[in-house]
């Protein structure tokens, strides 16, 4: 809702474009995380990718695809982040553990960092910005990563109940924790210490993202600020709940 209200400050054309991207991302996520997720196969994702390619070639399958196809004609949007997001969904079908943060980083890039890269061409860089495009895209990527890391930390208990642990296995081991501890869902001093480290890292990505917001066009800044502030609060709430992200959200 906050993001939606923020987009109302954008021009109508940019609003429509951002929502076309958002809807495509939601539909993609729903494939592996929605009500029919248990029936999704790698072949279904292959078909979704071919449909994406058709959409970029001006052959949309339905009205929602058509909205994104229209967006592509108006803004310099590259197909690669969209393909990368589908790759992230493929990862979700076959992988439920991440050895280290490098692996987790790549997963977060695929499923969320990509959204930032999709959005920058629509948001637009401020005409008076002195920042390089690389810096702005880097900040957008950082926001996607920060948001996804925050999602992961918020949903530890929920994911564990689905047999998934999106936390670096090596860092869990360093903290004296195991998968079994996650499944038990008991907050201990070891867990608090581990979580403090994870939250600190997520906040570092938020800080990097923050530096790029002011480089966007003025009318595009508010939805990004809204997203940043909203997700950052989730980290505060985890701390306020004494790091109990097993049974509280």
* pLDDT at residue 249, as a whole number: 79
CA dist 143 and 212 (Å) reads 9
Tell me the β-bridge partners of 125: 216
What integer pLDDT is reported at residue 5 of this predicted model? 65
∠ at Cα 202 (25, 135), nearest 5°?
70
pLDDT score at 36:
80
What is the model's pTM?
0.93
What is the pLDDT at residue 3? Answer: 62
* CA distance linking residue 158 with residue 2, whole number of Å: 24
Inter-residue contact 54 to 31 (CB < 8 Å) = no
| Long-range residue pairs from 95-103, CB within 8 A, at least 24 positions apart, any chain | 96/163, 96/164, 96/165, 97/165, 97/169, 97/179, 98/165, 98/166, 98/167, 98/168, 98/169, 99/168, 99/169, 99/170, 100/168, 100/169, 100/170, 100/171, 101/168, 101/171, 101/201, 103/168
Superfamily of domain 2-240 in the CATH hierarchy: Farnesyl Diphosphate Synthase (1.10.600.10)
Q: What is the CA radius of gyration of the chain?
A: 19
End-to-end CA distance of the chain: 18
Joined tokens for residue 203? 């906040």
3-state secondary structure of 125: strand
Nearest CA-CA partner of 202 in 143, 157, 156? 143
Site of tokens 């936390």: 167
pLDDT recorded at residue 113: 97
The Cα 78–Cα 112 span in angstroms is: 16
Q: Where are the domains of the chain?
A: 2-240
pLDDT at site 1: 52
CB 14 within 8 A of CB 123: yes
For the record, the structure tokens of 196 come out as 């403090």
CA proximity to 19, closest of 107, 114, 123: 123
Q: What is the mean pLDDT of each run of 10 residues along the chain (249 residues)?
A: 68 93 95 84 96 97 96 97 97 95 98 96 95 95 96 96 96 98 97 98 97 92 89 96 93
Distance, CA of 150 to CA of 204 (rounded, Å): 12
Q: Number of C-alpha atoms within 13 angstroms, CB side, residue 125?
A: 16
């Amino acid at each position: 809702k906050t993001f939606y209200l923020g987009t109302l400050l954008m021009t109508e054309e940019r609003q429509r474009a951002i929502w076309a991207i958002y809807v495509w991302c939601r539909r993609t996520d729903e494939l592996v995380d929605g009500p029919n997720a248990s029936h999704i196969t790698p072949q279904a994702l292959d078909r979704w990718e071919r449909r994406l390619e058709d959409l970029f070639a001006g052959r949309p399958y339905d009205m929602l695809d058509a909205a994104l196809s229209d967006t592509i004609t108006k803004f310099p949007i590259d197909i690669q982040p969209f393909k990368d997001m589908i790759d992230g969904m493929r990862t979700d079908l076959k992988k439920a553990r991440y050895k280290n943060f490098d692996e987790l980083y790549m997963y977060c890039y695929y499923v969320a960092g990509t959204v930032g890269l999709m959005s920058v061409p629509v948001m637009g860089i401020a005409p008076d910005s002195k920042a390089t495009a690389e810096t702005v895209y880097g900040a957008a990527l950082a926001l996607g990563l920060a948001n996804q890391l925050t999602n992961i930390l918020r949903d530890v208990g929920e994911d564990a109940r689905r047999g998934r642990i999106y936390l670096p296995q090596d860092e869990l081991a360093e903290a004296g924790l195991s998968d079994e501890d996650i499944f038990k869902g008991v907050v201990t001093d070891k867990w608090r210490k581990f979580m403090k480290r994870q939250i600190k890292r997520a906040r570092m990505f938020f800080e990097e993202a923050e530096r790029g917001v002011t480089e966007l066009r003025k009318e595009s800044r508010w939805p990004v600020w809204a997203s940043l502030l909203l997700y950052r609060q989730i980290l505060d709430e985890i701390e306020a709940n004494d790091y109990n992200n097993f049974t509280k959200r």
